[in-house]
């Protein structure tokens, strides 16, 4: 069966000033209790959610992995049998980092990502930039990656993360990212989950279209990503499109992206599995077609 992942992203809509870390953690835990009815596989929290609207500078925000923030999120992950992306300022022996810790269903930290591109003001406040190598983390549903806030402005790092195997990229952030995120999802054909401070958390599919977004009456956003449902290119596959349409009729929705020359098969019945359709019709994914085309071009390219 294809891998369908239920995702929830949460922002801080509690705008009361002069809070402390305990109040922020209490509020976040209360919200996770409420959204647990969604039965998410993974919950993404916003950047530095534990210190929002506090007077703390970065050195005083910093905690170790054994601190209150990660400890309480570990408890919630274990309680609700879900992964949690916990973005906070981490204190290490060599300094402090803007970090996204990935906590598994058992309450264990299984990986971390350090913000590669902290803002100038963060660096001035002693936040160290993370290593540039992509950080891919294995979960029980697939491989994930994280980028944080200002990282949105360096698209090459997103490509590196996709090329390294990330099947979803989570984006804890202070700002929403806007069209940047949809552009990145479209260009690199990778789902992106945005948990931002400015109340527009959203889940963006690999085609760059928004599956769901947070609104005034919705305190979090939830959606399902099928990791095994890819994009295809129309080249050499027009007959396959029509064969699938004829065989399945309304049991599948064939989404054609006219201007991009892409298409996609979206099963409309639970018992229909995209992997079976891909195998039966020997469908070539967009990624595979681009890779094959690149190989042919390189073999026939004359040295200038």
* 304 within domain boundaries: no
Which is nearest to 254 in space by CA: 276, 270, 277? 277
Task: For residues 120-131, give the mean pLDDT.
Answer: 97
**DSSP per-residue letters across the chain:** ---EEEEEEE------SS--HHHHHHHHHHHHHHHGGG--SEEEEPTTGGGTT----HHHH-B-TTSHHHHHHHHHHHHHT-EEEEEEEEEETTEEEEEEEEE-TTS-EEEEEE-SS--HHHHHTTBPPPPSS---EE-SS-EEEE--GGGGG-HHHHHHHHHTT-SEEEEEESS--HHHHHHHHHHHT--EEEEETTS--EEE-TTS-EEEE-BTTBSEEEEEEETT---EESTTTHHHHHHHHHHHGGGEEEEEETTTTEEEEEESSTT--HHHHHHHHTPPBHHHHHHHHHHHHHHTPPP-
Q: Are residues 126 and 256 in the same domain?
A: no
pLDDT at 176 over 70: yes
Domain membership flag for residue 148: yes
| Residue of 47, 122, 167, 284 with catalytic role | 47
Q: 138 with 60, same domain?
A: yes
72-76, 128-132, 198-202, 257-261: which range is least confident on average? Answer: 198-202
CA distance 238 to 259: 15
- Looking at the fold, whether 204 and 240 belong to one and the same domain comes out as no
Instruction: Report the C-alpha gap between 156 and 202 in whole angstroms.
Output: 22
- The number of distinct structural domains making up the chain is 2
Rounded to whole angstroms, how far apart are CA atoms 132 and 75?
31
Domain for residue 241, yes or no? yes
Asked if residue 111 and residue 208 are part of one domain, the reply reads yes
Q: Given 74, 76, 115, 162, which residue is catalytic?
A: 115
pTM of the model: 0.95
248 in the same domain as 220: no
Structure confidence at residue 15 (pLDDT): 64
With contact defined as beta carbons under 8 Å apart, do 244 and 281 qualify? yes
Whether 304 shows a pLDDT value over 60: the answer reads no
Which of 15-29, 45-59, 107-121 shows the lowest mean pLDDT across its residues? 15-29
And the tokens for 235?
A: 């080249």
User: CA dihedral defined by 215, 102, 31, 200, rounded to 10 degrees?
Assistant: -10
Q: What is the mean pLDDT of residues 135-159?
A: 97
Nearest to 244 by CA among 236, 252, 255, 256: 252
- In angstroms, the CA 234 to CA 261 distance is 6
**149 catalytically annotated:** yes
The answer on 249 and 209 residing in a single domain is no
Active-site residue flag, 82? no
Provide the domain limits for residue 243: 232-299
* Alpha carbon distance 260, 262 (integer Å): 5
Question: What distance in Å separates the CA atoms of residue 259 and residue 280, rounded to the nearest whole number?
Answer: 27
Pick the last residue of a domain from 177, 202, 226: 226
**In terms of domains, do 211 and 246 share one?**
no
List pLDDT tens digits, range 189-219. 999 999 998 768 999 999 999 999 987 778 8
pLDDT at 303 over 90: no
Residue 249 lies in a domain: yes
Task: With respect to residue 192, please indicate whether it lies within any of the assigned structural domains.
Answer: yes
What pLDDT does residue 53 have? 86
Question: Do residues 147 and 214 share a domain?
Answer: yes
Residue partners of 67: CB distance under 8 A and separation at least 6: 91
The domain boundary residue, chosen from 178, 211, 226: 226
The C-alpha atoms of residue 249 and residue 262 are separated, in whole angstroms, by 20
* Pairing assessment for the beta strands 4-10 and 42-45 based on DSSP bridges: parallel
Between CA 125 and CA 41 the distance in angstroms is: 35
| Domain harbouring 88, CATH code | 3.60.110.10
Last residue of a domain, one of 226, 254, 269: 226
259's tokens: 């201007």
| Range of weakest confidence among 112-116, 197-201, 221-225, 253-257 | 197-201
**In the chain, % of residues over pLDDT 70:** 97
Q: Are 44 and 76 in contact (CB under 8 A)?
A: no
pLDDT of residue 216: 76
Within-domain flag for 206: yes
Catalytic choice (146, 149, 194, 196): 149
The answer to whether 115 is a known catalytic residue is yes
Task: Examine the domain organization and report whether 260 and 280 are in the same domain.
Answer: yes
Q: Give the pLDDT of residue 200.
A: 84
- Are residues 118 and 31 located together in one domain of the fold? yes
Region 231-254: mean pLDDT is 97
- Evaluate whether residue 108 is within a structural domain: yes
Q: How far apart are CA 118 and CA 223, in angstroms?
A: 29
Are residue 198 and residue 74 in the same domain, yes or no? yes
How sure is the predictor about 40, in pLDDT bands with cuts at 50, 70 and 90?
very high
pLDDT of residue 197: 84
Question: What's the CA gap between 87 and 94, in Å, rounded?
Answer: 19
Among the listed residues 102, 44, 113, the one whose alpha carbon sits nearest the alpha carbon of residue 74: 102
Q: Are residues 244 and 203 part of one domain?
A: no
């Amino acid at each position: 069966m294809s891998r369908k992942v239920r995702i929830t992203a949460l922002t801080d809509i509690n705008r009361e000033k002069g809070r402390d870390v305990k109040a922020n953690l209490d509020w976040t835990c209360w919200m996770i209790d409420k959204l647990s009815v969604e039965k998410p596989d993974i919950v993404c929290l916003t950047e530095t959610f534990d210190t929002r609207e506090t007077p703390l500078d970065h050195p005083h925000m910093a905690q170790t992995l054994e601190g209150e923030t990660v400890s309480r999120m570990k408890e919630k992950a274990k309680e609700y049998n879900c992964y949690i992306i916990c973005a906070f300022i981490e204190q290490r022996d060599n300094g402090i980092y803007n970090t996204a810790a990935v906590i598994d269903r058992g309450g264990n930290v299984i990986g971390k990502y350090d913000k590669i591109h902290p803002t100038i003001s963060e660096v001035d406040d002693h936040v160290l930039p993370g290593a540039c190598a992509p950080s891919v983390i294995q979960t029980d549903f697939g491989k994930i990656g994280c980028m944080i806030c200002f990282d949105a402005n360096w698209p090459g790092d997103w490509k590196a993360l996709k090329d390294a195997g990330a099947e979803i990229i989570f984006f804890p952030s202070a700002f929403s990212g806007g069209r940047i995120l949809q552009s990145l999802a479209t260009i690199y054909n990778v789902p992106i989950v945005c948990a931002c401070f400015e109340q527009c958390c959203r889940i963006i599919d690999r085609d760059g279209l928004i599956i769901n977004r947070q609104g005034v009456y919705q305190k979090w956003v939830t959606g399902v990503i099928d990791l095994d449902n890819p994009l295809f290119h129309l080249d050499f596959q027009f007959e396959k499109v029509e064969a699938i349409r004829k065989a399945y009729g309304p049991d599948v929705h064939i989404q054609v992206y006219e201007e991009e020359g892409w298409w996609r098969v979206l099963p409309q019945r639970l018992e229909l599995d995209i992997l079976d359709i891909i195998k039966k019709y020997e469908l070539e994914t967009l990624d595979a077609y681009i890779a094959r085309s690149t190989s042919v071009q390189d073999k026939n390219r004359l040295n200038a």
